[in-house]
């Protein structure tokens, strides 16, 4: 069986990061295929001007899967022992729910705090609509950690942590203040070896997208 994962910039592409983390979590050996951010369609995705349909895209055994949730579900079926979804039925349903909320929601936060791993904006002003998204995310994190004991959202690493890992990086980039529970969760995510590897790869990326380098 051969597998390839098509991704875009590791510095800017949150959806690429999610798909890559899921693939790593599954244990599947895969080749990385890079869509250059200067590609017009890729740039439109990164600037939130088109739906996320180019990346990530998993090709495995002749099948193409291009939606992040679908990639997660596919990899869970392929490698159920990896724990991409929790074993227990109600936890699994809750995990799917909060992954779905990330997948389709929080548009104000995404627009106001675009992913940029190399940047740091101390004291960044977060406006009301984005702040409401941040508060909802923090509420989800606290509820999951209170229920499942941490350090990750469902105790051990799951699809939920891959879905929210780019949010953790946004909070670091834009100096978002977190309560102790959420701060501890964010620290655990940043120390996840695959997240650390993604950061290291992003740091070596020569690409800069002017529209995403502006403090706005």
Complete DSSP assignment for 7-31: E--TTT-HHHHHHHHHHHHHT---E
Same domain, 126 and 78: no
Same domain, 173 and 72: no
Same domain, 48 and 111: no
pLDDT in tens, 29-83: 999 988 876 666 665 555 555 555 668 989 999 899 989 999 999 999 999 999 9
pLDDT in tens, 125-178: 999 999 999 999 999 999 999 999 999 999 999 999 999 999 999 999 999 999
Domain extent for 74: 3-82
Chain-wide mean pLDDT for the chain? 90
Same domain, 99 and 26: no
Same domain, 152 and 99: yes
pLDDT in tens, 75-124: 999 999 999 999 999 999 999 999 999 999 999 999 999 999 999 999 99
Same domain, 109 and 179: yes
Res 205: pLDDT? 87
Residue 68 structure tokens: 């992040």
Over residues 16-27, the mean pLDDT reads 97
Alpha-carbon distances of 68 from 22, 38, 65, 158, rounded to whole Å: 9, 22, 8, 14
Same domain, 106 and 192: yes
For residue 215, being part of any structural domain is answered with no
Residue found under tokens 């050996």: 29
For residue 30, being part of any structural domain is answered with yes
Residue 86 structure tokens: 């929790």
Residue found under tokens 């590897």: 197
117 vs 207: CA distance, rounded Å: 12
Same domain, 111 and 192: yes
21 vs 192: CA distance, rounded Å: 10
Same domain, 114 and 181: yes
* Residue 87: other Cβ atoms inside 10 A: 10
Contact call for residues 108 and 46 (beta carbons, < 8 A): no
Same domain, 118 and 172: yes
CATH, residue 54: 3.40.30.10
For residue 216, being part of any structural domain is answered with no
For residue 214, being part of any structural domain is answered with no
Q: Which of 82, 100, 133 marks a domain boundary?
A: 82
User: How many structural domains does the chain have?
Assistant: 2
Alpha-carbon distances of 143 from 94, 146, 149, 201, rounded to whole Å: 11, 5, 10, 32
Which alpha helices (H) appear in the chain, and where do they start and end?
A: 14-26, 40-46, 68-78, 89-104, 107-112, 128-148, 159-173, 180-191, 193-203
Same domain, 18 and 43: yes
Res 49: pLDDT? 52
Residue 93 structure tokens: 């349903």
Q: Which of 82, 98, 125 marks a domain boundary?
A: 82
Whole-structure pTM value: 0.91
């Amino acid at each position: 069986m051969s597998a390839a994962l098509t991704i875009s910039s590791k510095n800017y592409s949150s959806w690429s990061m999610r798909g890559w983390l899921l693939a790593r979590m599954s244990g599947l050996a895969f080749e990385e295929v890079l869509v250059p951010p200067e590609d017009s369609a890729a740039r439109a995705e990164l600037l939130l001007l088109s739906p996320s349909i180019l990346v990530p895209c998993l090709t495995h055994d002749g099948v193409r899967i291009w939606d992040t949730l679908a990639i997660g579900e596919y990899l869970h079926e392929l490698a159920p022992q990896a724990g991409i979804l929790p074993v227990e039925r109600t936890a699994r349903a809750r995990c799917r729910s909060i992954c779905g909320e990330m997948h389709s929601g929080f548009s104000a936060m995404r627009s106001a705090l675009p992913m940029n791993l190399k940047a740091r904006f101390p004291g960044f002003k977060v406006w009301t609509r984005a702040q409401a998204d941040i508060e909802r995310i923090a509420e989800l994190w606290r509820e999951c950690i209170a229920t499942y004991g941490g350090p990750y959202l469902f105790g051990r690493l799951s699809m939920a942590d891959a879905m929210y890992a780019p949010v953790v990086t946004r909070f670091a980039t834009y100096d978002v203040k977190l309560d102790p529970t959420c701060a501890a969760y964010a620290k655990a995510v940043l120390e996840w070896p695959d997240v650390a590897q993604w950061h290291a790869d992003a740091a070596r990326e020569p690409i800069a997208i002017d529209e995403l380098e502006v403090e706005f």
